[in-house]
Amino acid sequence: MDISYAIMGAGIGAGLAAIGAGIGIGKIGGSAMEGMARQTEASGKIKSAMLIIAALIEVAALFALVICLLISFKG
């Protein structure tokens, strides 16, 4: 098999990682919006919690991104 299949797999993997991050952060953002709409006094706390959890989810996606980049650099 060519190395080009691995690089194509790396590209697909990076796209899937982006989808995963998008879904995860979208769900967090959605429930944060809903919580802020229900109780506007708690919006400060909800905003800080949302940012922290978004960073954690993003790290998981970036992990996959780094591995895909390493694979693509091998080719």
Partner 1 sequence: MSAFSHKITRFFLVLALLFSSVFSFAADASEGGEFNASEVILHHVMDDHIWHFWDGHYGTLYLPVIVYSSERGLDVFSSKNFYDDHHNAVAYNGYTLDHGHIYLNGNSVFDISITKNVAMLFINAALLMVLLLAAAKGAKQNAGKAPKGLQSFFEPIIVFVRDEIVKPNIGHHYEKYLPYLLTLFFFILFGNLLGLLPGAGNMTGNIAVTMTLAVFTFIITNVSGNKAYWSHIFWTPGVPLPLRIVILPVEIVGIFTKPFSLMIRLFVAITAGHIVLLSLISLAFIFQSVTVGFVSSLIVLFINLIELLVAGIQAYVFTLFTSLYIGMATADHEHH
Give contact residues for partner 1 (rule: CB under 8 A). Answer: 51-52, 55-56, 58-59, 62-63, 65-66, 69, 72-73
CB-nearer residue toward partner 1: 12 or 18: 18
Pick between residue 20 and residue 38 the one whose CB is nearest to partner 1: 20
Give CA–CA dist 44/62, Å, rounded: 27
CB of 63 to partner 1, least distance (A): 5
Q: Name the residue nearer to partner 1 (CB basis): 5 or 63.
A: 63
> 10 Å Cβ neighbour count for 10?
21
Residues in the chain: 75
DSSP H helical ranges for the chain: 3-38, 43-74
